[in-house]
Copies of this chain bind each other. A is one copy, B any other.
């Protein structure tokens, strides 16, 4: 049958399009509802490109996790850097960035929640999540230590758990609380953790 017309593109363009489409599909349909044909359609290409560029849907999902983690990490780093040298301001900026667009966009939160779901049963995704979570806690520990917090390991666990819990609620029901309320709760927790 007649083939669909297309423009030839470089590998990076195709890979980025497939990654963006995967993030969108994970957000919309969840971890259980995504498929090769769905992602390809969202990327405007045919399904064969998934295997061609990524070796398969699992590797594409893993690459999407890396890309999403890098994006969130860069946004958080930028927020902390923009806060100047004061330790508490940097920590507050870190927290606030979690509840401000683009991180707080429901689609990004939903994509992230889909990775959590996949991590529960997919060892490769679990390894990425462990790595991302450890890096996040290390960053938070450093920010807390700069503020004079004691037992920074446990404090970092507590802060990231609150943020994750608020993210989770927000991705499941954005009407439960506002971003400002989330930020206020987190500041209050910071006060308690730092003393």
A interface residues with partner B (beta carbon < 8 Å): 28-34, 110, 113-114, 116-122, 126, 129-130, 133, 154, 157-158, 160-166, 168-169, 171-173, 176-177, 181, 184-185, 188-189, 191-193
Contacts and interface: CB of A to CB of B under 8 A. Distances in A.
A133 B168 CA distance: 12
A119 B31 contact: no
A194 to B, nearest CB: 11
A140 to B, nearest CB: 13
B119 A117 contact: no
Q: How many copies does the complex hold?
A: 2
B162 A161 contact: yes
14 contacts: A28-B121, A30-B118, A30-B120, A30-B121, A30-B122, A32-B32, A32-B34, A116-B168, A116-B172, A119-B172, A129-B172, A130-B172, A158-B162, A162-B165
B30 A184 contact: no
A44 B171 CA distance: 36
| Chain A binding surface, main DSSP class | helix
Given A117-B120, A157-B169, 5 more contacts: A126-B172, A126-B173, A157-B166, A157-B176, A161-B162
Among A116, A154, A165, A191, residue most surrounded by chain B Cβ atoms (within 10 Å): A165
B171 A120 contact: yes
B130 A173 contact: yes
A163 B168 CA distance: 11
Nearest to A161: B165
The 5 closest A-B CB pairs, nearest first, are A32-B32, A165-B165, A161-B165, A117-B117, A192-B192
B185 A157 contact: yes
Contacts of A169: 133, 157, 160-161, 164
